[in-house]
Amino acid sequence: MDKDQIINVIQEGKYTKVKVALVDIDGILRGKYMHRDKFLSAVDNGFGFCSVVFGWDMEDKDYTNDIKVTGWHTGYGDFDARVDLNTFRTIPWEKDTPFFLVDFKSDKAEDLAMCPRSLLRKVIAQARDMDFTPMFSQEFEWFNYRKTSDSLNEKGYRDVQPLTPGMFGYSILRMSENHEYFNDLFHLLEAFGVPLEGLHTETGPGVTEAAIQYSGILEAADRAVLFKSAVKEIGYRHGIIPSFMAKQTSTLPGCGGHIHQSLWNSTRKENLFYDEKAVDGMSPLMKHFLAGQLKCLPEILPMFAPTINSFKRLVIGAWAPINQTWGHDNRTCSLRVLSSNRKSTRIEHRVVGSDVNPYLAMAACLASGLYGITHQLKLDTPETKGNGYAVKKGLLPTNLWEASQRMKRSKIAKELFGDDFVDHFTKTREWEWQQFSGEVTDWETKRYFEII
């Protein structure tokens, strides 16, 4: 629908309220309900949204480490929020309430550097200037537990019951056992504009994997963000708590949020990654893109692994990579190349966990690939055949502090995303590390309480 059609739907429909939301630096939806009349007045002129959403962490604690864009030193005024009418959809589990995503503008009417969705749109514009159409999709793994948010909090997030017992990947039995939940996921997500390619159980108690249908990159990121929130909202209605933590326990594999990516021409008719004359099916453009991603990976790792917990997943033998590696259909590598035919040739970025901000992760994927094309980088890294964990070169940073400090100092990161974003984002990751460092963990208590 065009602008006039959307406005007419809102004006003439049964709706008295509209839900709007933005995504903060952690990838969390922050939003509110607006009266229909207020929303319609904001379509052309925007509306004020408190800047605190970029001044606090996921627990609403104010950053105290010199965040420049907002804080007590700015008085926490409003940012200018702009509705993106292209994101219009209705929420089927809320009586088809209209829903829209918004972007932030600065006081100079420019895209706000810290706004994740605006950052992605900036990188997309670079791709379009190069006559590329990025086509992306994301897949998620997550755990499901039989709890409500109240009971989960009461138990201190311990001793929670998985939706299903045991290790049973691709289980028809387990899907059937919980068919009402899984049917709702599939059909309600479709009605919400987040269509799935597939949905199945993964190995691990209560673990599920879903692949979202591919699309243009901005729509793919929108779908990924809305997927995570929608799964939680639908789960609540079934007495189920979905969790997208990257690593739930040391005894089980972590949860991936792998991103599939390809570049097409402006008409979306030609996959520019595929070369039918090449033995490996890879075009020179794809090799430049891949080389750029490999080179930039350790410089921008926090955009793929943004939490303390992210790095507990990136360990040997846990179905997640640990180094700068690539290989054809190799799931032990950071970048898995699939190049068997024109339609499906793509790169799967396997460093990405389910805890990421999809806008930042996709912006990082695309920007680093374009870096390789712009600089005509050669794919000098040899293909990994067999066990990628055996490759001892190009090991990635092993914790959030190390990764954040590398990104903070990185000339490449600043070239890709600008000084303002890198400064803000890395300070938020430093904050996350500082919050963790002051806590006493269960591991410490078990290890030191009696023995030491």
pLDDT in tens, 257-307: 999 999 999 999 999 999 999 999 999 999 999 999 999 999 999 999 999
Nearest to 86 by CA among 124, 54, 48, 131: 124
3-class secondary structure, 290: helix
In-domain check, residue 362: yes
In-domain check, residue 333: yes
Please measure the distance between the N-terminal and C-terminal CA atoms of the chain and give it in whole angstroms: 67
Q: Which residues of the chain have pLDDT under 50?
A: none
Under a CB-based contact definition with an 8 Å cutoff, are residues 145 and 56 in contact? no
CA distance 223 to 413: 26
Length of the chain equals 452
State whether 94 and 144 are in the same domain: no
State whether 82 and 202 are in the same domain: no
Under a CB-based contact definition with an 8 Å cutoff, are residues 399 and 247 in contact? no
State whether 197 and 53 are in the same domain: no
Side-chain half-sphere of 65: how many Cα atoms within 13 Å? Answer: 16
**Residue 236 pLDDT:** 95
State whether 65 and 136 are in the same domain: no
Nearest to 58 by CA among 233, 224, 245, 315: 245
Domain region containing 67: 12-111
Look at the chain and report how many structural domains it folds into: 2
Among 111, 145, 175, which residue terminates a domain? 111
**Residue 261 pLDDT:** 98
State whether 82 and 155 are in the same domain: no
State whether 194 and 236 are in the same domain: yes
In-domain check, residue 296: yes
DSSP state string for 230-276: HHHHHHHTTT-EEE--S-S-TTS---B--EEEEEE-TTS--BTTB-T
In-domain check, residue 450: no
CA distance 368 to 362: 10
Residue 27: CATH number of its domain? 3.10.20.70
**Residue 211 pLDDT:** 98
The rounded mean pLDDT for the chain is: 95
CA distance 320 to 349: 10
**Residue 107 pLDDT:** 66
**Residue 147 pLDDT:** 77
The tokens for 17 are: 């309220």
The tokens for 215 are: 């699309």
Reported pTM: 0.96
State whether 99 and 134 are in the same domain: no
In-domain check, residue 449: no
In-domain check, residue 361: yes
Under a CB-based contact definition with an 8 Å cutoff, are residues 233 and 93 in contact? yes
Residue 226: CATH number of its domain? 3.30.590.10
State whether 146 and 96 are in the same domain: no
In-domain check, residue 7: no
Distance of CA 115 to the CA centre of its chain: 14
State whether 47 and 157 are in the same domain: no
For the segment 316-329, what is each residue's pLDDT rounded down to a tens digit? Answer: 999 999 999 999 99
Strand-strand pairing, 346-349 and 215-216: unpaired
CA distance 398 to 334: 14
State whether 376 and 418 are in the same domain: yes
State whether 102 and 144 are in the same domain: no
Question: What DSSP designation does 159 have?
Answer: S
State whether 64 and 209 are in the same domain: no
